[in-house]
Amino acid sequence: MSSDQSLQDIQHLFMAHYTALCHRAFQLVNDEDAAKDVVQEVFIRLWKQMENGFMALENPEAYLHRAVRNQALNYLDREKRQLSFATELQATSAISSNDTEDNLGLEELQQKVQTAIESLPLGCRKVFLLSRYGGLSHKEIAEQLQISPNTVDNHIKKALSILRKYLVSGLLIIFKIFLGEA
């Protein structure tokens, strides 16, 4: 399919279904801007797939509704993980903010984590950062980096294994701080 033809097909689908898809996404994410972003992301992915010849839709409307639903659920999952991470970080900060010694231990651990992440092989580091700090799912990372989801899984496992080994000493420091032995 030519680039012009796929663009025309996307424009037609966009004009015909955008409002209904935004409404559907809003029902799921309860945020107008996020709903628009979800729908736009679906159209961008569809366009890329059509442009590369990977997509021939028998029922475009059903596909779009399912894709918007899935993208909205992915969005909610990312938001939930980011909120959970922020809550954990805030709780950790609140626990250790009362004592200068605790702060020094936390700063040391944060430095060890940063150093450990920087020591990861490039591909492994890129996948790990997209997963843990970017909030992307394994499938989204695979699509973005154009690698298989299995490769993403292997990179994550390798990164976690390396980080675990690297950070054992940092965890011992934190345990000592919380137990009052440092």
The stretch 135-153 carries a mean pLDDT of 87
Number of domains into which the chain is organized: 2
Average pLDDT, the chain: 78
CATH number of the domain residue 26 falls in: 1.10.1740
Residue 136: pLDDT band (50, 70, 90) is confident
Residue 24: pLDDT band (50, 70, 90) is very high
CA-CA distance, 135 to 155, in Å (whole number)? 16
Same domain, 90 and 136: no
pLDDT at 91: 63
Domain termination residue (choose one: 66, 97, 128): 97
Domain termination residue (choose one: 65, 97, 129): 97
Domain that holds residue 166: 99-182
The stretch 29-39 carries a mean pLDDT of 91
Same domain, 43 and 122: no
Same domain, 103 and 179: yes
Same domain, 76 and 131: no
Same domain, 76 and 146: no
Same domain, 108 and 40: no
CATH number of the domain residue 140 falls in: 1.10.10.10
Same domain, 12 and 91: yes
3-state helix, strand, coil in the chain (%, to 5): 85, 0, 15
Question: What pLDDT, in 10s, does the model give residues 64-112?
Answer: 999 999 999 988 888 887 777 667 666 655 555 555 555 556 677 677 7
Question: What pLDDT, in 10s, does the model give residues 38-71?
Answer: 999 898 888 888 777 666 678 888 989 999 999 9
- Angle made by CA atoms 162, 168, 172, in degrees to the nearest 5: 165
Same domain, 22 and 7: yes
pLDDT at 23: 95
Same domain, 68 and 113: no
Number of H helices, E strands in the chain: 7, 0
If we measure between CA atoms, which residue out of 172, 169, 166, 131 comes closest to residue 149? 131
pLDDT higher for 76 or 23? Answer: 23
Residue 164: pLDDT band (50, 70, 90) is confident
Domain termination residue (choose one: 81, 97, 113): 97
User: Over 50: is that where the pLDDT of 37 sits?
Assistant: yes
